[in-house]
Amino acid sequence: MANSIGQALDRVDGRLKVTGAATYSAEHKIENLAYAVIVPSTIAKGRITSIDTTAAQRVHGVLAVLSHQDRLKLAKSPKDIQPGSPADRVLQLLQDDQVVYGNQPVALAVAQTLEAAQEAASLVKVHYAAAKPSVTLDRPQHDFYVPKKMGGPGEPPDSNRGDVQAGLAEAAAHIEQTYSTPFQHHNPMETHATIAVWNGADKLTLYDASQGIFGDRNRVAELLGLQPDDVRVISLYLGGGFGSKGPTWSHVVLCAMAARHVNRPVKLVLPRPLMFGPVGCRTETRQTIAAAAKQDGSLTALRNEVLSHTSTFDEFCEPASIPTRMLYSVPNNTTHQRLIRSDIGTPSYTRAPGEAPGTYALECAMDELAYALNMDPLELRRKNYATEDEDKKLPWTEKALNKCYDLGAERFGWSRRNPEPRSMRDGNHLMGWGVATALYPARRSESSGVARLASDGTVHVDAGSQDLGTGTYTIMTQVAADGVGVPASQVVFRLGDTRYPATPVSGGSQTAASTGSAVYLAARALREKLIQMAIADSRSPVHGARTSDVEIENGRIGMRGDAARSETLRELIGRSGQPNVQGFADTKPGEEAKKYSGYSFGVQFAEVRIDADLGQMRVERMLGVFNAGRILNAKTARSQFIGGMVWGISFALYEHSVYDERLGRVVNNNLAEYHVPTNADVGTVDALWVDDPDDRVSVIGARGIGEIGITGAAAAIANAVYHATGKRVRDLPITLDKLVSS
């Protein structure tokens, strides 16, 4: 099929973005717009005893200062809503005096200007009866509970096969260690932003920075008592999402409530500090792993017991145990997940939820086991290669991880590694090399799309969907081009509007496989119609031909292998008198989804350089090699992979939302103190891939690549730090104080 697919096509929206012409959610020009600013709670647990809005009301230009005292009406209490999708969260919508986390919205100032709204918000006086919050995993075991199910597609929280005790007993070597990962808050460049515009009492348009416009539409409609069709959500461009914009959060509904109250369109943009609390986070995790093997390296037992947080009012379980269940071949395997209720905003999906912390712990444990066995860590992984999903007892849709290991080892120069810790030096710098496996599930959901040939010969394709900045506009353009048989330059692809055909949330790395399949099949349906139209058209060069003899290529329809007998699609539709011809597709995963287990795999190599005296660290070099089905665009794919890997550097060495244990609030809720790597912190990062199409996951062979790049990355770096220093830090981030302390 491929012509356009796979090419390193520049982003079709690149020019719009660099010239500022791409309209992000907060940038829509709306008449008579008012501005809302949230007053966040300054305590994490307790009750509001009184709110004094007198001074705030006096600010010039203020339209309303809203709190629970105003008893704004909802069609349903947020507490009574049953989740319709795994991304549905329980919201705080000024309905009562309860405070359940720090930075919870407790009031809202609405004014004619942003400045007036900010001033008014700063003058709202909230008095609390504060209780002592808890945000720690250091709690007695009986405080933890078994979750109903885990985030993602809802795997069970516990798994078991074989007999781990027996496996441990028969081993020649075993390790048991606890690995900790900290709270992290996703901070896309674009913070959350919503503009709510009412048209009468029952029609609402939301310009919303959303990764899932249909879920957003349904959630808002339910809470406000509207028909879903009466809510239109538009999300044309996103400045990143990483999972934070997957669920609908409180501010979206509050913005619509405020707009209804003041009877004007209202814009609400979250300032950076409010990214820490009301819009999800990656929970802290503590994973206790036991790993055991015979002298030849074959695993006899693997166990992972995971502790993580949820909120007091909602449940989200970070599925960190998944990699331990299925990544390696091992007869005795058990995992469990336990949750603690903490006084925090509900944790939620954060890039590679589960797999990111899960691969960190498992892949460090594998490194420790390799050292205990005196075996090369890459060899240990090859030795325990899983040829099927032993947890689900299903064959893989397609797996080429061995090819990734081979290619990666060769390109990185792994055979030149001296396994001895502290053995590779460069002057006063300790050098270390580490390796880890990467993986992420291949997800796909029902999705639809429509393709039309316009009278000028242009192919117009629409599908709801979203582009987080990942390149969705571009890959869909390529997929549609190949589906019809036209150059990509002849395709106009639109997304980000609930008036377009329904599509899933852009989460779980599923957009390419889900919406890509719909777009491809809609394009094929259009192609089919055009071929039939031409065959029936007495003036067409293919008039009367057999279907199988007709082809559309490069925008021309003609007899296969006979360029002289062809014409442009524009000529064909021009004669037809029809304004356009249309193909539609509504697709969902086939039976294959039940018969196979779909995962993408990869390998991460890292080189670190550490000052022997001061412990200062730098990741000099990273190489990731991925097996993720057909790669749709070599350029945007590379960006996705290396972007994920850079977040892996961040995960290993920098990111940490620090809670003040007394207040239950994040101390470093800004980008000055919430550390992420800058360009100077990132050495050479490269990504390669094994381009094996996976036709069992999608008709276009794609599996999706948004999340796999971060997986395994932190472990590769942590393992490299051990190799460099001989010191095993099992508590991320690895900061220099942890390295120099004894």
What is the set of active-site residues? 707
Query: Is 6 a binder of ligand MOS (CB under 6 A)?
Result: no
Q: Which is nearer to ligand MOS, 708 or 732 (CB)?
A: 708
DSSP H stretches of helix in 374-501: 377-383, 401-412, 472-484
Report if residue 640 touches ligand MOS, rule: CB under 6 A.
no
Closer residue to ligand MOS (CB): 102 or 353: 353
**Angle between the 250-262 and 213-224 helix axes, to the nearest 10 degrees?**
50
Nearer to ligand MOS, 351 or 524 (CB): 351
Is residue 246 close enough to count as binding ligand MOS by CB under 6 A? yes
641 binds ligand MOS (CB under 6 A): no
Among 215, 240, 241, 555, binds ligand MOS (CB under 6 A): 241
Structure tokens at 680: 């100077």
Q: Is residue 243 within the footprint of ligand MOS (CB under 6 A)?
A: yes
Which range, of 61-69, 241-249, 381-389, 529-537, touches ligand MOS by CB under 6 A? Answer: 241-249
The per-type count for the chain, helices as H runs and strands as E runs, is 17, 31
CB of 707 to ligand MOS, least distance (A): 6
CB of 705 to ligand MOS, least distance (A): 12
589 binds ligand MOS (CB under 6 A): no
CB of 282 to ligand MOS, least distance (A): 9
Of 220-228, 239-247, 308-316, 687-695: span binding ligand MOS (CB under 6 A) = 239-247
Our measurement of the distance from residue 724's CA atom to the centroid of its chain's CA atoms, rounded to an integer in Å, reads: 32
> Within 207-226, which residues bind ligand MOS (CB under 6 A)?
211
User: Of 465 and 540, which has the nearer Cβ to ligand MOS?
Assistant: 465
Contacts of 110 (CB under 8 A, 6+ apart): 34, 35, 36, 62, 63, 64, 65, 66, 117, 258, 261, 262, 266
Q: Provide φ and ψ at 716, rounded to 5°.
A: -60, -40
Q: Which is nearer to ligand MOS, 114 or 593 (CB)?
A: 593
DSSP for residue 288: E
507 contributes a contact to ligand MOS by CB under 6 A: yes
CA distance 432 to 412: 13
Residue 241 vs 701, nearer CB to ligand MOS? 241
For residues 379 and 316, is the Cβ–Cβ distance under 8 A?
Answer: no
CA pair distance 133, 98, nearest whole angstrom: 13
**504 binds ligand MOS per the rule CB under 6 A:** no
Sorted by sequence, the CB contacts under 8 Å of residue 124 that are 6+ apart come out as: 39, 51, 52, 53, 55, 56, 65, 67, 107, 109
Using the rule CB under 6 A, give the single segment among 24-32, 139-147, 238-246, 694-702 that binds ligand MOS. 238-246
Residue of 464, 508, 516, 733 that binds ligand MOS (CB under 6 A): 508
339: nearest Cα among 315, 358, 357 = 315
Size of the site for ligand MOS (CB under 6 A): 12
Contact 192, 270 (CB under 8 A): yes
Minimum distance, C-beta of residue 245 to ligand MOS, in the bound complex (Å): 8
Residue nearer to ligand MOS on the CB measure, 154 or 726:
154
Cβ atoms 326, 411 nearer than 8 A: no
Cα angle: 146, vertex 151, 152; to 5 degrees: 145
Distance CA 708, CA 352 (A): 7
Give min distance, CB of 350 to ligand MOS, in A: 5
- Span 337-356, contacts to ligand MOS by CB under 6 A: 349-351, 353
Cβ neighbours of 558 (radius 10 Å): 22
Footprint on this chain of ligand MOS (rule: CB under 6 A): 211, 241-243, 246, 349-351, 353, 507-508, 707
